[in-house]
Amino acid sequence: MSDNQGFLLIDKALGISSFALVRQLRDITGISRIGHTGTLDPLASGLLIFALGSYTRLCQFLEAQDKEYEAVLKLGEQTETGDIEGKVIATSENIPSRIDKEDLRKNILQITSLRTPAYSAVKVKGKPAYSYARNGIKVELEDRPVNISEFEVIDYSPPYLIFRCKVSKGTYIRSLGELIAQLLGTAGFCISLRRTSIGHLKVSQAAKIEDITKENFSYHFFPVKELFPDFEQLILPFQELLYIKNGNPIPNSGIDNEKILIFDSDGSLQGVAKRKDGILIPYINLKN
């Protein structure tokens, strides 16, 4: 593997934006081409996956993964942003002393869409929604389709409710928190949010940005074979690899598959291909 391409799992701290981490990694590594697989707000912490070099072309396969979060919801108040950054815009004294955790879980798992927050990065006429909200301009935002596959209340000590959820791409946990409060007959906003996993990858496997240096960053690269366990892995001899890297399909026996990682004889990832009717067709070529 080239030292200038790979994936880094970082446990983002509070108070720093996802793009600020990109800038830090550019300064540390000297690599300008860096992307990530899902933004975390500055007020959220947890797992971010960064791709360096040509590996940014593989982000598409990770962005669609379900994500798991742990959040702390404060009941009795609603803020304009859905988190601690915004001013309080509504209050409610109707804070339940006890809740039915199982009933709440069942209701949450039935949700198929959630409100898109006014303070979000969703583009409206080329501008992020939050730019309108900050100027007091109201814009119509469509609800987002979501799938919540797991939900549990970890603890409830009024007015604080701690919950864990596993959700589909693009789910706004701030909106989920507000809806939870509504289902409990009150108002609420998230005071803490942490992303604990992306797909099968856990935040416990991630490094801190403070641990990444110019000398060791490539040693922190996460093994690509473990990153994509559901992909077929295929090692090609030099001549076949040459054909594939030049964009040419080649005969290759096996079942049809649209997710195949192509490696050279040294175990270095060269690209992604798909197999159809015994033909291997390249569609992502990774250049060192």
pLDDT tens-place string over residues 69-98:
999 999 999 999 999 999 999 999 999 999
Rounded average pLDDT over 225-237: 95
* 1: pLDDT strictly greater than 50: no
* 30: pLDDT strictly greater than 80: yes
* 285: pLDDT strictly greater than 80: yes
Report helix angle 173-183 to 101-109, nearest 10. Answer: 130
pLDDT value of position 178: 96
Query: Residue 269 and residue 288: Cα distance in Å, rounded?
Result: 10
* Residue 187 and residue 91 in contact, taking contact as beta carbons nearer than 8 Å: yes
Say what percent of the chain tops pLDDT 70.
99
* 58: pLDDT strictly greater than 50: yes
Query: Residue 112 and residue 144: Cα distance in Å, rounded?
Result: 8
Rounded average pLDDT over 257-266: 95
* Residue 156 and residue 184 in contact, taking contact as beta carbons nearer than 8 Å: no
Instruction: Catalogue the active-site residues.
Output: 41
Task: For 184-196, write each residue's pLDDT tens digit.
Answer: 999 999 999 999 9
Instruction: Give the chain's domains with CATH numbers.
Output: 6-65+200-223 (3.30.2350.10), 67-191 (3.30.2350.10), 231-285 (2.30.130.10)
pLDDT value of position 105: 98
pLDDT value of position 139: 81
pLDDT value of position 22: 96
Task: For 118-173, write each residue's pLDDT tens digit.
Answer: 777 777 777 777 788 787 888 888 889 999 999 999 999 999 999 999 999 989 99
Rounded average pLDDT over 100-128: 88
Closest among 1, 47, 56, 46 to 26, alpha carbons compared: 56
Rounded average pLDDT over 5-22: 95
Rounded average pLDDT over 198-217: 96
* Choice among 109-113, 140-144, 189-193, 240-244 with the minimum mean pLDDT: 140-144
pLDDT value of position 288: 55
Rounded average pLDDT over 266-277: 95
Average pLDDT, the chain: 93
Closest among 59, 28, 56 to 215, alpha carbons compared: 28
pTM for this entry: 0.91
